[in-house]
């Protein structure tokens, strides 16, 4: 049995899904209030002055704080069932299916949120290592539970979750600089669908 590590957004999907989920779960009034607040930050991101990690942290704090965990769980299940099927890359999903047919251990390693990735992974028979939302007394705090699962944190979590030495070959699939540390763990690395030599 080999190991296959897949990033989600941009690797298995045609676009980022974090923003889609935020628009799906956050009430319209709060979204309307947030749009002008986040416009300068988004402009800074496009210019390379603001990190994606910082934006996601700010959006979670503003958009999700105070929502019930049950509301977000239900929204995540609906999002996984209704929205995610329409943004999947067929060729990437065929690669997931190929690994599964070989009997490989297939793990999704993503900076995306557990709210929608957990039900999606259950549906597709994949394990999950991802960013998690913090809640207290059944309400979201607006913070992540631990660090966002991006960059070096992806590699750290993989090493914590898995014994890499137990697998003859590790395959890793990613599409941005936030996946580089995870790709470095593998003998076979695929970046934007192309294997690196």
pTM of the model: 0.95
Q: How much is the average pLDDT of 19-40?
A: 91
Residue 35 clears pLDDT 90, i.e. is over it: no
Domain count, the chain: 1
Q: How much is the average pLDDT of 16-34?
A: 93
Count the alpha carbons within 13 Å of 115 in the hemisphere toward its beta carbon: 28
DSSP SS3 for 163: coil
Q: What band does 45 get if pLDDT is binned at 50, 70 and 90?
A: confident
Q: What is the pLDDT of residues 88-107, one digit of tens each?
A: 999 999 999 999 999 999 99
DSSP label at 29?
A: H
Q: 135, 64 in Cβ contact below 8 A?
A: no
For residue 53, give its domain range.
3-196
Q: What is the pLDDT of residues 152-180, one digit of tens each?
A: 999 999 999 999 999 999 999 999 999 99
* CATH (domain of 26): 3.40.50.1000
Find all residues with CB under 8 Å of 50, minimum gap 6, and list them. 41, 44
What is the predicted pLDDT for the residue at 38?
A: 87
Backbone angles phi, psi at 18, to 5 degrees: -55, -50
Q: What band does 37 get if pLDDT is binned at 50, 70 and 90?
A: confident
Backbone angles phi, psi at 2, to 5 degrees: -100, 180
What is the predicted pLDDT for the residue at 144?
A: 98
* Strands, sheet with 170-174, edge to edge from the N-terminal-most edge strand: 127-131, 105-113, 3-6, 170-174, 188-191, 194-196
| CB-based contacts of 90-99 (< 8 A; 24+ apart in sequence) | 91/193, 92/6, 92/11, 92/12, 92/173, 92/193, 93/12, 95/173, 96/4, 96/6, 96/12, 96/124, 96/126, 99/2, 99/4, 99/171
Q: What percent of the chain has pLDDT over 70?
A: 100
């Amino acid at each position: 049995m080999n190991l296959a590590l897949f990033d989600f957004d941009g690797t298995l999907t045609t676009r980022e899904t974090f923003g889609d989920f935020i628009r799906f779960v956050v009430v319209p009034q709060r979204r309307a209030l947030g749009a002008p607040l986040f416009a300068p930050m988004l402009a800074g991101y496009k210019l390379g002055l603001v990190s994606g990690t910082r934006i996601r942290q700010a959006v979670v704090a503003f958009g999700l704080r105070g929502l019930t965990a049950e509301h977000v769980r239900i929204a995540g299940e609906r999002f996984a069932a209704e929205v995610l099927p329409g943004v999947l890359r067929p060729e990437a999903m065929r690669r997931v299916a190929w690994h599964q047919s070989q009997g490989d251990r297939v793990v999704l390693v993503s900076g995306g949120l557990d709210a929608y990735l957990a039900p999606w992974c259950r549906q597709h028979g994949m394990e999950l290592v991802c960013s998690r939302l913090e809640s207290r007394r059944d309400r979201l705090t607006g913070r992540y539970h631990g660090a966002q699962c991006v960059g070096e944190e992806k590699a750290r979590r993989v090493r914590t979750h898995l014994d890499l030495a137990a697998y003859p070959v590790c395959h890793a699939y990613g599409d941005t600089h936030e996946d580089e540390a995870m790709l470095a763990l593998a003998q076979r690395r695929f970046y934007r669908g192309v294997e690196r030599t």
